[in-house]
Amino acid sequence: MKTSRRNFLRAAGVSLCLPVLESFGVTKSLVAPKRMIAICQDLGFIPRLFFPQAKGRDYNLSPYLEVIGAHREKFTVFSGLSHPGVDGGHRADKAFLTAAPHPGRASFRNSISLDQVMANEVGHLTRFRSLSISVNEVRSLSYTQAGVEIPSIKSATDLYQKMFLQGDQKAMEAQLARLRRKESILDVVLAQSSSLKRRVSTSDRERIDQYQTAVRSLEQRLSEQSAWETRPKPTVDDPMPEYPSDKKQFFEMVRMMYDMSRLAFQADSTRVITLFLGGQRTPGVIFEDGRSLGGYHNISHHGKDETKLAQLEEIEYVQMQLLEELLRDLQEVEESEGSLLDNTMVLYGSNLGDANIHNNINLPTILAGGGYRHGQHLAFNEHNNTPLCNLYLSMLHNMGIEASRFGSSSGTLTGLV
């Protein structure tokens, strides 16, 4: 059964949590937390419809930006940003939040993603250190310190269960036992690696040190998970939503994942989310009026064919409409200090500058919310791009993380205040 947006919101949101009321006299003592959601749309956008012509605060909205124009003062659009050394066309999605160079090479090794740097700082404050979710995509945007991919949650139904459904006492005890077994195994692994370290070369000891750091990090996560296992989850009265099984229901899937992300932030289940929108693996799309188009990926490689360009424009227009819904929903949630949008950085972009030619430069990028002084087009050199990681470093600082660098950054991003 297809779940409508209205029914989904009623099922998942109405009884989730009450707002903080001034009558209780506690509003002023509460400080709304900083949050971040990073969204990668893996087939990019038609550049001439995405990027504005003029720069600065007096720019005219491009056709796609007109769709989110009601939020003009809540977002900044960027041009001339990319990851130096990140190439490989579609394979660059692995480096969207890491900036690890040459993801298409057999020797490629990934590094920690932006969200996980944030999760390492604030993840212990919430039930979930971070949430990695995806639509029609088997992979994830999130990578650990060691460059290991963190699997994504691929269904809004599964995400709902994880966040809101409390198991019975027997299920909870079984889960705690599983966590204890994992911790015991890690203790053995650490002991064995420490013994091995005394018998190997200096370079091998360095590798073992890195390995042990990763193991200790995992132990800490298991300990945090055990602590949260006995605490009650937010409850809802209405039934769980049904996530579409037809991959062509791409737009409905995206909408539901956006709604779940908002609910996760409202419930303070997490403060860090990544969302991978997998157009490559979307066999087609179904519009709200019942019409359908096949082969989103194939259409994105339009070869300047006018029919395909018109189809792609229609798909991308709906993508922007869905983004507008997310921004509006976040803006409508009032918090002690502004709105949920004011306290949430919404990064929206792609690993592809132009899917038609598989390039990875001049990446379409929007940053909304987060309390910045938005309302501008920050335009950098379209041929000699500024590192996208300069933006990421600025976002880390906004989160309260005083990092000196991230990935390929050369400093914070000029003009973003």
Q: Which residues in 231-375 belong to E strands, given as ranges?
A: 272-277, 284-286, 292-294, 334-335, 338-339, 344-349, 365-369
- Cα 389 from Cα 100, distance rounded (Å): 11
CA atoms within 13 A on the CB side of 146: 14
- Domain residue spans in the chain? 5-166+236-398, 167-231
- For residue range 206-221, what is the model confidence (pLDDT) as tens digits? 666 665 566 556 556 6
Per the CB < 8 A criterion, the answer to whether 338 and 267 are in contact is no
- For residue range 226-247, what is the model confidence (pLDDT) as tens digits? 565 667 877 755 456 689 999 9
Of 366, 317, 319, 322, nearest in space to 345 by CA: 366
Longest dimension (CA), the chain: 68
Per the CB < 8 A criterion, the answer to whether 285 and 248 are in contact is yes
Residue-level pLDDT, tens digit, the chain, 417 residues: 444 444 444 444 333 444 433 333 334 447 899 999 999 999 999 999 999 999 999 999 999 999 999 999 999 999 999 999 999 899 999 999 999 999 999 999 999 999 999 999 999 999 999 999 999 998 999 999 999 999 999 999 999 988 887 655 566 566 556 655 655 555 655 666 666 666 767 667 666 666 556 655 655 665 565 565 667 877 755 456 689 999 999 999 999 999 999 999 999 999 999 999 999 889 999 999 999 998 899 999 998 899 999 999 999 999 999 999 999 999 999 998 899 999 999 999 999 999 999 899 999 999 999 999 999 999 999 999 999 999 999 999 999 999 999 999 999 999 999
Mean pLDDT of the chain: 86
Q: What fold characterizes domain 5-166+236-398?
A: Alkaline Phosphatase, subunit A (3.40.720)
- Run of H or E residues at 404: none
- For residue range 147-166, what is the model confidence (pLDDT) as tens digits? 999 999 999 999 998 888 76
Distances in whole angstroms, Cα of residue 255 to Cα of each of 44, 150, 156: 18, 23, 10
Record the tokens describing residue 270, joined without a space.
């997490």
